[in-house]
């Protein structure tokens, strides 16, 4: 099982962030003393994206308005999942076709909390 966190967050420079993610994955693999997942092994990828708090939420009035009129915010979760999978491709596994399941969730950072993306990759158990 591979677990790691990227402390930065995808901004306009997606290529730079994807490279940061690949480096974080390599460092985690070295620290956890695991190699790349074997070819043909079905993999499950879990992604937890913690977004920075929207500016409007930082005021009491804006927070109340955000609760009443909830709107989607931040980058789309499918975009983040695609960036993560592209960053892990050939680093943690040989090909994207090894991935059989992706679960991606997004959250808002608590007040004073940092935005980050946490990734977990593990082999799927046989059914």
Q: What are the pLDDT digits (tens) for 59-98?
A: 666 555 555 444 556 678 888 999 999 999 989 998 899 9
Question: Could you please report the per-residue DSSP string of 89-105?
Answer: BTTTBS-GGGEEEEEEE
Report the CATH architecture of 2-123.
Answer: 2-Layer Sandwich (3.30)
Q: What is the pLDDT of residues 15-52, one digit of tens each?
A: 888 999 999 999 999 999 999 998 888 999 999 998 87
φ, ψ of residue 85 to 5 degrees: the values are -65, -40
Inter-residue contact 43 to 100 (CB < 8 Å) = yes
Q: pTM for the full model?
A: 0.82
Q: Give residue 69's pLDDT.
A: 45
Residue 9 scores a pLDDT above 70: yes
Cα separation, 35 vs 64, whole angstroms = 48
Q: Which of 41, 1, 37 is nearest to 122 (CA)?
A: 1
Q: Rounded to whole angstroms, how far apart are CA atoms 65 and 44?
A: 38
């Amino acid at each position: 099982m591979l677990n790691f966190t990227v402390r930065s967050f995808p901004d306009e420079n997606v290529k730079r962030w994807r490279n940061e993610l690949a480096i974080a994955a390599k460092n985690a693999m070295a620290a956890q003393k695991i190699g790349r997942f074997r070819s043909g092994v079905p993999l499950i990828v879990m992604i937890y994206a913690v977004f920075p708090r929207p500016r409007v939420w930082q005021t009491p009035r804006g927070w109340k308005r955000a609760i009443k009129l909830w709107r989607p915010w931040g980058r789309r979760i499918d975009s983040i999942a695609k960036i993560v999978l592209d960053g892990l491709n050939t680093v943690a596994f040989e090909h994207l076709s090894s991935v059989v399941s992706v679960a991606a969730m997004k959250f808002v950072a608590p007040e004073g909390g940092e935005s980050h993306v946490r990734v977990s990759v593990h082999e799927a158990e046989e059914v």
